[in-house]
A and B are shown apart, each in its own frame.
Chain A
Amino acid sequence: DSGVTQTPKHLITATGQRVTLRCSPRSGDLSVYWYQQSLDQGLQFLIQYYNGEERAKGNILERFSAQQFPDLHSELNLSSLELGDSALYFCASSVGQNNNYGYTFGSGTRLTVV
C-alpha cells in the first residue's frame, strides 16, 4: 500500500456520460498530480494541485477538470466521455509543490468507455 488511495478501481460507462475519480494523497503530502496512461501513450501528465490551488497543467482536455479540497483529497471529473478516454488514470502525491523528491502513485482507476 503506497498510501495514495484511488477510487473506484474500475469504472465502466457509456459515451457521453460524466464520471468522477477520487484520490486521497499520502498523509502529509500537499501536492496531487493526475496522469493518464493509455495503451499507446505511456504516462501523460494532466494536472497538479498544491494545497488546494492549481499548480501546473499538462495535456488536459477541456472536457476534463479537477479540484483539490481543503482536506487535500482531489477529484478528477471527466465529461462528455469518448471511447478514446478509456485508460488508466493515476493519481500521485508529493510533499512539496516542486518535483524534487519524486511522487508516490496510487494503484489507479481503470476507466472503460463503451
Chain B
Amino acid sequence: GENVGLHLPTLSVQEGDNSIINCAYSNSASDYFIWYKQESGKGPQFIIDIRSNMDKRQGQRVTVLLNKTVKHLSLQIAATQPGDSAVYFCAENQGGRRALTFGSGTRLQVQP
C-alpha cells in the first residue's frame, strides 16, 4: 500500500483487545483536534474530533482524550477489529490562516 514505506511507529494488537494511539501536538494555542484513519490506497478518513473546551469525547467504539496541560491527544479503539488496521493521524487546528497540521502517524496492526 501507499503507506508501506513510511517509517511509522507501529502498534500491534490482538483482535478484540482495546487499542490506544497517542499523539503529542505542537501548539498550545490549538483549539480543535481530529483523528484520521488512512487505509492502504485511500485518503485519510475522519474518525472523531474534539474541541479544546472538552477533555473527552466518545463515538462508536472510539474515544478521544485531550490533555491540554501536556499537549497530548489519544485515540482509544474498543474491541479492535481487523478492519481497524490502518495508519492513524492526529491533526490540530493551530488557528489563524493555517491549515490543519498533521502528526506523523501511527500504524495499527490487528492480529487475528
Binding site for B on A (CB under 8 A): 2, 4, 33, 35, 37, 39-40, 42-43, 45, 48, 55-56, 58, 88, 90, 92, 98-108, 110
Taking A42-B103, A99-B99, A100-B93 as known contacts, 4 extra A-B pairs with beta carbons closer than 8 A to each other, sorted by chain A number, are: A2-B45, A43-B102, A102-B91, A107-B41
5 pairs, CB–CB < 8 Å, chain A vs chain B: A33-B99, A40-B6, A90-B43, A92-B43, A108-B43
Contacts A48-B99, A102-B49 known; A42 to B42 CB distance under 8 Å?
A: no
Q: How far is the CA of A36 from the CA of B6 in the complex (A)?
A: 13
Residue of A nearest to B99 (CB): A45
Q: How far is the CA of A99 from the CA of B94 in the complex (A)?
A: 9
Which single member of B32, B36, B43, B100 contacts A45 (CB below 8 Å)?
B100
- Report yes or no: B46 in contact with A107, Cβ–Cβ below 8 A: no
Chain A residues with CB under 8 Å of B97's CB are: 55-56
Chain A residues with CB under 8 Å of B34's CB are: 102
Q: How far is the CA of A45 from the CA of B29 in the complex (A)?
A: 19
In whole Å, how far is A66's beta carbon from the nearest beta carbon of chain B?
A: 13
In whole Å, how far is B24's beta carbon from the nearest beta carbon of chain A?
A: 14
Q: How far is the CA of A98 from the CA of B6 in the complex (A)?
A: 29
Q: How far is the CA of A28 from the CA of B2 in the complex (A)?
A: 29
